[in-house]
Structure 1
Amino acid sequence: MVVRKKDGSLTADEKPVVKALLNRGMRNQDIQALLNVGRKATVNSARITEVKKSDQIAPAPDDAVEHFIARKRAFDPKTGLNAFEDERLVRAREAMMVAVQVFNSPTVIFKTEVFAILANVAWTYLLHEHYLRTIGTIIGDDGKTWPLSFMLKRDDCPLTKGMKRNLNALKDIRDTVEHNILGKADDKWLSLFQACCLNFDRKIRELFGNALSLQGELAFALQFSKLNLEQVAELQRHDIPEHIEALDARLREGMTEEELTDLDYQFRVIYTLDNASKSQSHFQFIQPDSAEGKEITNILVKFRPADETHPYKHKAVWEEVSRRSGRNFNSRHHNQAWRLHGIRPRPGDAAPEKTNKKYCVYHPAHKDYTWAPPETSSF
């Protein structure tokens, strides 16, 4: 006996629709193709034949059939979302895309205002869908749907602490928008907005699958192509209203350095300027931990005299560490430390200059090494 899997069966709602489509003269294979749009378990042609032969199934009314067809045609094969069944996720993605597109538009003046408001909408829809799927409700005791601020305070909120701080900062910006003129403050919180975009893309993929990523639509959110040095200088000359400076101070109040440097809170990069003509000059953004980022750090160190950046000789380092720590730390311990962490090459190495310049530099003139102060080079 063959046991039919229920997942591949027609539902009670689908059978009358199939009957109506057959009565319209639609072919089995066309009905089958329509039914299987967006289905995880597909229906085979035999199920449609069963409906055709049954006299017990009444055809669905025309409005129900048209609604069924409209729902199937609203399915997005790229994301797997349906505008009828996944409306919150569709709206969440659109709200974030519009927020970024408006911010990037050269013709729009109210960039910060629009971004802060639409980003709040996007995250609210995203978390509403999460809670509907996990606990089945988003309605509070007052009969209203949960606001974003309430969801961020829940113990089961799926966001990191940095993400929550970022969204609370955007809420403060949004609330200020309702009562004040922001002036030219768009560049004031670019790092917050960039982190918001990246956090949204990361979380929607984690919660609902990689197919929902915005990376295809927004290759680099809040990008600034061909931003030349004159434009950068102009940005710095804009006067920021006092209430905006006050808001900026309030956003940072009470935050530790670790919280401020959390990439989930605000996006931070190391940048270099490529050698290019004036019309093609632009910023190139590089991850700090990448090989390019580390090389930039090494190069920047070279533009300051080594006597300033690395004033300690070998003996001075271990004596200072021993004095500050109150523990026995001698030359042998220091040698073990730099060897363990690969800070400098061993004696006799063919390339003695290849050091970690954050901690140590080589002097070819007198063929020895000096070290950064212990507080910046503790192993």
Structure 2
Amino acid sequence: MKGLPLQVKSCLDKALDSALLAVETYNKPAVKFKSGGYIVLMCIAWTSLLHGIFLRKKIKPIYKEKNGRYKKVNGEIQYWELKTCVAKYFVDSNNPIRKNLEFFIPLRNKIEHKFLPELDSNIFAECESLLLNFDKIVEAEFGHKYCLRESLSFALQLFPSSETLSMATKANKDYDSIVSFINQYRSSITTDVLNSGEYAFKAFLIQVANHKSKDALPIQFFSFDKMTDEEKKKVERIAALIKEKHIPVANDDKIKPGTVVEMVQRALGNKSIVKGKKRVDKFNMDTHTRCWKKYKIRPETGSSHPERTNTKYCVYDSMNKNYGYTQAWVDFLIEQMNKDEEYNSLFE
């Protein structure tokens, strides 16, 4: 990397190595939770890349104290973390690449200490774009010769069956809360961003007859964005023919009250209290009932207007005559029930 300042070169070296390690981790057959290590390493890669870009532009990506001195933590200078780097580099808050990165920053924190192999298939498209976008920015800022694409290959992957994924999902209680976050994030971004290849890369392969030329590539990639209108129509027609029929499921992202109780109680450390002459869970079904009454998120049982809920936290199911709760409600309860005065107020 001749010609680059030493500090910039060091950041770029680290970024490229981290990205290659991320790909190697993901593509190892023995690794079950592929996206876990991949996301952590790609976040390191992106942070180093953006640091290198800022340094090359004579911008020091370091936090400062009010007196202008560089901020230190445990004696070490505190550099901008990825969230700050992304906000400063991508000025447009609706940029698909920025939205892709902002998806992974909180997700990394949520899965860092969890084992969720069933999550891999759900976020594969975003993971692929995370890598392709990385290479795109490397090329834009440092030139084609530093790109990773020459070091990468088309990986053949063994994919778990839908039955295996279903069984794993049922066995892992952390999965529901993570998927709820994923669904909420996807629903919060615009349709244009959601459909962008820079936010989530999606493709399908069509087997063709063997090439007559022995020199022809076995697999060729054609970017949809660079196709003519006529070529796009043909691709969309083929995609429509092979597209799996989506079967809608009502209230798929809602949580039953019993599950809410389990999630909150677990988040509170499974603490118990003495009630009368027996010991009970700190957060139980009675506590939950007191909460939805106190915070007025749904009507009382038997109300003539059961649909009048705070939809941020609760939705009424008219067909089954019951209520479903959101991840936001679970998060709210965890926050409030960790406050002794708030918890005690339920019983006043």
Q: Is the Cα contact below 8 Å between 1:95 and 1:118 reproduced in 2?
A: yes
Name the residue aligned to 1:106. Answer: 29
**Residues in 1 aligned to 2:239 and 2:190: alpha-carbon distance in whole angstroms:** 27
What do residues 43-94 of structure 1 show as CA deviations (whole Å, max 9, x unaligned)? xxxxxxxxxxxxxxxxxxxxxxxxxxxxxxxxxxxxxx79887111011001
Q: Displacement, 1:300?
A: 6.6
Name the residue aligned to 2:53. Answer: 130
Name the residue aligned to 2:136. Answer: 202
Name the residue aligned to 2:202. Answer: 268
Q: Displacement, 1:297?
A: 3.6
Name the residue aligned to 2:262. Answer: none
* Number of equivalent positions: 216
Q: Displacement, 1:249?
A: 1.4
2:182 matches 1:259: no
TM-score (norm 1): 0.49
**Residues in 2 aligned to 1:138 and 1:199: alpha-carbon distance in whole angstroms:** 21
Name the residue aligned to 2:43. Answer: 120
Q: Is the Cα contact below 8 Å between 1:270 and 1:286 reproduced in 2?
A: no
Secondary structure in structure 1 of the residue aligned to 2:206:
strand
What do residues 312-359 of structure 1 show as CA deviations (whole Å, max 9, x unaligned)? xxxxxxxxxxxxxxxxxxxxxxxxxxxxxxxxxxxxxxxxxxxxxxxx
Q: Displacement, 1:154?
A: 2.0
**What is the correspondence of 1:79-228 to structure 2 with a 5 Å cutoff?**
86-142=9-65, 143=71, 144-154=78-88, 161-220=95-154, 223-225=155-157
Secondary structure in structure 1 of the residue aligned to 2:40:
helix
TM-score (norm 2): 0.53
Secondary structure in structure 2 of the residue aligned to 1:272:
coil
1:224 is matched by which residue type in structure 2? L
Q: Is the Cα contact below 8 Å between 1:271 and 1:285 reproduced in 2?
A: no
**What is the correspondence of 1:206-355 to structure 2 with a 5 Å cutoff?**
206-220=140-154, 223-225=155-157, 233=162, 237=166, 239-240=168-169, 241-274=175-208, 287-288=223-224, 290=227, 294-298=233-237
Name the residue aligned to 1:354. Answer: none
The 3 A distance-change label for structure 1 pair 218 and 234 is farther
Q: Is the Cα contact below 8 Å between 2:7 and 2:52 reproduced in 1?
A: no
Q: Is the Cα contact below 8 Å between 1:131 and 1:137 reproduced in 2?
A: yes
**Residues in 2 aligned to 1:82 and 1:154: alpha-carbon distance in whole angstroms:** 22
**Residues in 1 aligned to 2:125 and 2:64: alpha-carbon distance in whole angstroms:** 36
1:152 is matched by which residue type in structure 2? V
Bigger RCO of structures 1 and 2 (CA < 8 A, at least 6 apart): 2
Q: Displacement, 1:213?
A: 0.6
The 3 A distance-change label for structure 1 pair 285 and 186 is farther
Secondary structure in structure 1 of the residue aligned to 2:134:
helix
The 3 A distance-change label for structure 1 pair 264 and 298 is closer
Q: Is the Cα contact below 8 Å between 1:274 and 1:283 reproduced in 2?
A: no
Q: Percent identity?
A: 24
**Residues in 2 aligned to 1:110 and 1:267: alpha-carbon distance in whole angstroms:** 20
Q: Displacement, 1:285?
A: 6.7
2:41 is matched by which residue type in structure 1? L
Q: Which moved more, 1:182-191 or 1:283-292?
A: 283-292
The 3 A distance-change label for structure 1 pair 274 and 238 is farther
Secondary structure in structure 2 of the residue aligned to 1:86:
helix
Q: Is the Cα contact below 8 Å between 2:139 and 2:147 reproduced in 1?
A: yes
Secondary structure in structure 1 of the residue aligned to 2:153:
coil
Q: Displacement, 1:258?
A: 1.2
Mark the runs of 5 or more structure 2 residues left unpaired by the alignment. Answer: 66-70, 72-77, 170-174, 211-217, 243-348
**Residues in 2 aligned to 1:206 and 1:179: alpha-carbon distance in whole angstroms:** 34
2:85 is matched by which residue type in structure 1? M
1:199 is matched by which residue type in structure 2? N
Q: Displacement, 1:114?
A: 0.6
What do residues 291-324 of structure 1 show as CA deviations (whole Å, max 9, x unaligned)? 7654344457789xxxxxxxxxxxxxxxxxxxxx
The 3 A distance-change label for structure 1 pair 249 and 84 is closer
**Residues in 2 aligned to 1:85 and 1:156: alpha-carbon distance in whole angstroms:** 19
What do residues 190-216 of structure 1 show as CA deviations (whole Å, max 9, x unaligned)? 100100111000100110111101011
Q: Displacement, 1:177?
A: 1.3
Give RMSD over aligned pairs.
3.4
**Residues in 1 aligned to 2:241 and 2:82: alpha-carbon distance in whole angstroms:** 48
The 3 A distance-change label for structure 1 pair 237 and 86 is same
